[in-house]
Structure 1
Amino acid sequence: MAATDNGTTLIWLRRLLDGWLIAGSLLTLGWVLLLHRADQDGDVWASLLGLGLARVVTDILVLGLLVALRFCLKRAERTATTVGALAVAVLSAGDMLRILLPEPATWCGIPLPAACSMAGLLLVTAAPWLPGGTSLVGLDQRMMPVIGVVAAFVPMVLCAVAIAAHAIAGGPVDLVMTVLAGSMLFALGARQGVTHADHLRIAQEAAAREAHYRTLVDGTSDVMTIVSPDGCVLYVSPAAYHVFGYQPEELVGARLLLYCHPDDLSTLMQAVRTLRQESKSGTRGPGCCVACRVRDADGRWRPVESTISHHPEGMIFISRDVSERVAQQAKLEHLAFHDVLTGLANRALFADRVAHALRKRTTGAAPPVVLFVDLDGFKAVNDTAGHATGDALLTHVARRLQASVRAGDTVARLGGDEFAALLEWEAGTHVSSAWDVAHRILSALTMPYRIGSRDAVVSASIGMAAAAGGITVEELLHHADLAMYAAKAAGKGRIRMHHPQTPHLATPGTSS
């Protein structure tokens, strides 16, 4: 575990102390048992030798496993197993020397079996720090559970019990036992000091991290809401007051769905169901982005864009007020389909409305009628009085056109001084009613216009075209345009209908 730590020096030191506490406890326990065996047999080394054969067999089995494991790994992960196999081989040599040599030779004053044991143990200690040493068992990819940390100190308890029992039985306490027990007590005290210092460091880092995230949460304009799986609000960031006018504590415990527009509930619930299914299946997707309207403290519906993600307590909503963006988008859409000067529909929107009228035409209802209106005498007003007066005149014309048609009809400015109107009829309405509307428009447009300190007078030429079966939008608009030019050719200030041969389009007259 010490080899896997990439943290601070305190963490690394604590791991080393943990390792010595466990290893020292086992070593002390083994030494106590060895002293007890020596008291019975009278010879410590003979006792060790008696166990030599079993240890050699165990060494051979472990060595075989390590060699087999080495050839199953990738080349970059073989270093640790190679050193581990070498360590077991050295330990095996030491064990065999104890069996084969009644009086083993010495090296630098140290018996060869003991030298082999020390060398093998040093290699075992180095193996976890080498490439592949910890990844083989996944210590670098998992957290040590609490029970694992507690269970590691069981040898210390056994060691303390063994020392106490040995002392009560009157066994000798030699220098080795004293050094081992003293080193463990020192290591335990040092570990507690290191652990305390590490806890203080963690507490300070946690406080700094909490303050950092609190600053981010409190300073952002986005509203962060934590919602339980059943839709109950658990937490709301302070931005809720600036965005929606609610104090955060007012929303805690409330049902989130009560603040969502009824028309947007299905979209929101679909996203919530998706996250619930992911939680049940154990998967964690990227979250969902939902656009809906939320009721603020004043009762108004605010357009909100929310990103919904998983949270340990349920779901977290990161919501942003997009009122300005929606208003800007609506303004752009309006400008794309409406005339800037008059606010009427432009040519593109008018053609779309005509296409819609042709598609929804039903049997028994009169066909839709298109009127093309061109002002007579507008150029003279524009040239003599100026463009500002001309623009004001066009604005007045637009208002009079809208006042002359019904609420369901569409009026558009096609460009310059050309206007158009789409008249749609319900079942039972006669198309001759279109003539009444056309005459009303012509009468309204020929009245004088008061612009500033002067009056401007213009007239209008109107062309009409009714939709026949199978006609296209382009054809219908072209027919109305031809009829308008026919009205101009007839002397201006007149009304002309395209296809006058159609019986139900016959009228008492064709001019104003």
Structure 2
Amino acid sequence: MTVALFVPAGVGIPAAHAVAALSLVVRARTAAGRVRLRLTLLAVSVAAGGLHHLAFARLSSSRADGLGEVLRLLSASGIALCLVLGVAAMVVAAADGGTTLVWLRRLLDGWMVAGSLLALCWMLLLHRADRSGDAYGSFQDLARVVTDVLVLGLVVALRFCLKRGERAATTVGALALVVLTASDMLRILPPAAVSWAGIPWAAACSLTGLLLVTVAPWLAGGTRVMEVDHHLMPVIGVVAPFVPVAVCVVALGAHTMVGGSTDMVLMLLAGSLLVALGTRQGVIHADHLRFTREATTREAHYRTLVDGTRDVITIVGLDGRVLYVSPAAYDVFGYRPEAQVGARLFLYCHPEDLTPLTRAVEAVRREAASGRRGPGRRMVCRVRHADGRWRHVESSVSHHPRGMIFVSRDVTDRVVRQTQLERLAFHDALTGLPNRALFADRVAHALRKETTRTAPPAVLFVDLDGFKAVNDSAGHAVGDILLVHAARRLQTSVRAQDTVARLGGDEFAVLLEGETGTRPSRSRDVAERVLAALTRPYSLAGREARVSASIGIAVALPGVTPQELLRQADAAMYEAKRMGKGRIRQHIPQPAGTHHSAPDPARTTAIPLQEPPQPQTQSPPPEHRHDAQELSAARVRTPAADLCDTDEDQGHSEALPQ
């Protein structure tokens, strides 16, 4: 209002047009594609409107013949460019982000709004436009109103083609055009009606509208493409074009009832609205038919994918009831899909796997209640097959509009193969006993228990005496049978919670936990029972074979490592073998600060077999002519050592996986 009071309208309004055009040009440089073209066309349109206002103001103050003709030409060219380029910019905007039918529907919506407003303006302002007696001036006034109304109708129609958070620019643009339309309509009214308290309301409205045009492109959605079509538009966006048409029909009926005259222009406007309304309905039906066909095609495509996949897709409500099961459920689980609808999800799950399943479901429920979507959950559980067997199923659980969706596949074969591989990696292939790697792991686990100080574990290191002779005379197959029988006798000689392992060749180890390792006498009792079991005759391939065993015992002391405990039992076993075989030797820890390079007979206790040991003066067999230090250094192995050892009693060896 202040600018309108102190700045002449012939200068202030063109200057405001120039500022608005400059703002649109600068904003266009930050955009690309059709958005840049749209903003550039609007900038030229606004600049042409400023040229029209400047020429029209000069025309009213100067009536020279030559200058008047030039000003009339500039004024008419300016308003024509303003109308054509403004409408063209909105047509370019309507063509963004949609099919031809969507683009045509947007244009028809714009014309329904604009045509209704034009009919109302024609009824209200026609008799006032001719009152001044200046036909050219009346034409210019009506042309400005027509320009504003046409662009306003397209802006209103396109406002709902953007998402809710991106409508600020079109909202402010529509408000600017409403203010500019009011300004142009005020110029048609008598001079007394366009000013109050000295304020030129027409100029004030023009300046306000142009200020809004300057700001609009910099708001949210100023450079966005019209991406939302009528399938995603809100209800108000679909109904909005019909509101001005209904108002126009009511106004036209009232105008006719009070005796108002109707001319050809009014009839053409009313007829064009009816044609646009009918065409729009036809376009909507055609677009709806296209959308339905596309939806049917997509549904058939996804149905083919769901029906053809081996994965079972299950949709479950938040209450835990099954809403949908894909046809693959019959091939995987043996159930008819339609028979599972309405069943409880937890009905077919193994009782031991209910906890992880419940946790996954509860996590998805919490995410759904909070309105956020997590990455989903992956889990493996056992599901009852129709034949009663339990199948291992791997499922991914994620959100679904109706609850949650499970994509499951049968991984039973994979789980079985993995179990077999783990067994091969940690068990002896011949006897089925744990191998050296698993035995070392169990020893380490036993040493980590809290009861280690009160009930320390003990390790028995067992080596078969005379196995080489049986293996060489009867063959490797008979030797393998002997090892299997020996392994079974070892297992039956200890408790179920104790661990029996084959370390390689004819070497075995036993881990005694709990009360057995509390006192040395308990460990020796078990060793004697093992020795008695192993020395009983073996019936192998119709012949009888006899072997004995050398056993070393080591009881865990505080701070001992698994490698040291195994090395102590191994050293005790070779001390028993050096003393004449068929004996039991127990490792006795030496005092701190002393070091021995070889096992000391004073550090071990010998228990003879049924037959007395050979005199110490007798020469040992050629195999045992090495001294104790050489035997200990050559034969003591850690769990990381080779799995196959060879000695004087070992003729059969077998490499096992660690």
TM over 0.5: yes
Is 1:368 the counterpart of 2:466? The answer is no
Counterpart CA distance in 2 for 1:496 and 1:434 is: 11
Aligned partners of 1:35 and 1:44 also within 8 Å? no
Aligned amino acid, residue 238 of structure 1: P
1:185 aligns with 2:274: yes
SS at 1:221 equivalent: coil
- 178 and 500 in structure 1: CA distance in 2 versus 1, 3 angstrom threshold: closer
- Decide which of 99, 102, 105 is 1:11's aligned counterpart: 102
Provide closer, same or farther for how the CA distance between residues 364 and 313 of structure 1 changes in structure 2, counting only shifts above 3 A: closer
Higher alpha-carbon deviation: 228-237 or 430-439: 430-439
What amino acid does structure 1 have at the position aligned with 2:369?
A: K
Q: Give the equivalent residue in structure 1 for 2:508.
A: 419
Structure 2 CA distance, aligned partners of 1:134 and 1:175?
43
Which runs of structure 2 are paired with 1:313-328 in the superposition (5 Å)? 313-328=402-417
**Match of 2:222, as an amino acid?**
L
- Distance in 1 separating the partners of 2:299 and 2:523: 73
From the superposition, tell whether residues 181 and 469 of structure 1 become closer, same or farther in structure 2 (CA, over 3 Å): closer
Unaligned runs of 5+ in 2: 1-89, 153-168, 190-209, 592-602, 611-658
* 2:484 pairs with 1:395: yes
What residue is the counterpart of 1:290 in the other structure? 379
RMSD (Å), alpha carbons: 4.6
| Mapped partners of 1:338, 1:363: distance in 2 | 26
* Cα displacement (A) at 1:146: 0.8
Q: Is the 8 A contact 1:460 1:493 kept in 2?
A: yes
For 2:445, the equivalent position in structure 1 comes to 356
Q: Counterpart of 2:159?
A: none
Q: Aligned partners of 2:220 and 2:454: how far apart in 1?
A: 84
Residues 369, 280 of structure 1: CA spacing in aligned structure 2 closer, same or farther, 3 A cutoff?
A: closer
Any idea what SS the aligned residue of 2:515 has?
coil
Stretch of structure 1 that moved more, 366-375 or 484-493: 366-375
Counterpart of 2:580 in structure 1 is 491
Determine helix, strand or coil for the equivalent of 1:375. strand
Structure 1 residues 377 and 174: alpha-carbon distance in aligned structure 2, compared to 1, 3 A threshold: same
Deviation at 1:490, TM superposition (A): 1.8
Is the alpha carbon distance of 1:424 and 1:280 closer, same or farther for their aligned partners in structure 2, counting shifts above 3 Å?
closer
Counterparts in 2 of 1:403 and 1:337: CA distance versus 1, 3 Å: same
Q: Report what 1:136 is aligned to.
A: 222
Q: Is the 8 A contact 1:228 1:315 kept in 2?
A: yes
Is the Cα contact below 8 Å between 1:238 and 1:248 reproduced in 2?
Answer: yes
Q: Which residue of 2 aligns with 1:242?
A: 331
Query: How many correspondences in the alignment?
Result: 460
- Name the amino acid aligned to 1:19: G
Q: Distance in 2 between matches of 1:428 and 1:441?
A: 15
- Paired with 1:16 and 1:249, the residues of 2 have a C-alpha distance of 48
Q: Which residue of 1 aligns with 2:289?
A: 200
Report how far residue 203 of structure 1 moved.
Answer: 0.9
Q: Alpha-carbon deviation of 1:412? A: 0.4
Q: How far apart, CA to CA, are the structure 1 residues paired with 2:125 and 2:294?
A: 48
C-alpha spacing 1:301/1:132, structure 2 compared with 1 (3 Å): farther
SS in 2 for 1:274: helix
Q: Return closer, same or farther for 1:180/1:406 CA change in 2, 3 Å cut-off.
A: same
2:609 corresponds in structure 1 to 511
Deviates more, 1:485-494 or 1:260-269: 260-269
Which amino acid is the alignment partner of residue 297 of structure 2?
Answer: A
Q: Quick one: distance in 2 between partners of 1:7 and 1:366? A: 80
What's the CA shift for 1:210?
Answer: 0.8
Q: For each residue in 1:34-74, what CA deviation from the matched residue of structure 2 results, as whole angstroms up to 9, or x when unmatched?
A: 346679x697969959989x98xx99xx9xxxxxxxxxxxx
Contact 1:432 1:507 in 2 (8 A): no
Deviation at residue 369 of structure 1 after TM alignment: 2.8
Find the aligned partners of 2:99 and 2:450 in 1 and give their Cα distance.
78
Is residue 366 of structure 2 the alignment partner of residue 274 of structure 1?
no
Rate the CA distance shift 1:471–1:440 in 2: closer, same or farther, 3 A.
Answer: same
Change in CA separation of 1:425 and 1:238 when aligned onto 2, cut-off 3 Å: same
Match of 2:114 in 1: 23
Contact map agreement 1:134 1:140 (CA 8 A) in 2:
no
Name the CA distance, whole Å, in 1 between partners of 2:377 and 2:413. Answer: 22
Distance 2:182 2:238 in 1: 31
What residue in structure 2 maps to residue 105 of structure 1? none
Contact 1:49 1:98 in 2 (8 A): no
Deviation at 1:411, TM superposition (A): 0.7
Query: Is 1:145 equivalent to 2:234 in the alignment?
Result: yes
Match of 2:535 in 1: 446
Shift of 1:375: 1.9
Query: 551, 564, 567: which one pairs with 1:478?
Result: 567
| TM superposition score normalised by structure 1 | 0.75
Distance 1:246 1:398 in 2: 45
Map 1:45-444 onto structure 2 (within 5 A).
135-136=221-222, 140=226, 143-360=232-449, 362=451, 367-426=456-515, 431-444=520-533
Matching residue of 2:87:
none
Q: Is the 8 A contact 2:462 2:550 kept in 1?
A: yes
CA contact (8 A) 2:353 2:382 kept: yes
Displacement, 1:155?
0.8
Between 1:352-361 and 1:339-348, the stretch displaced more is 352-361
* Compared CA separation, residues 30 and 361, structure 1 to 2 (3 A): closer
With over 3 angstroms needed to count, the CA separation of the structure-2 counterparts of 1:139 and 1:209, relative to structure 1, is same
* Letter aligned with residue 556 of structure 2: A
Unaligned runs of 5+ in 1: 63-78, 100-123
Distance of 1:154 and 1:361 partners within structure 2: 82
Shift of 1:300: 4.2
User: Could you say which residue in structure 1 is the equivalent of 2:124?
Assistant: 33
Q: 2 CA distance for matches of 1:343 and 1:221?
A: 36
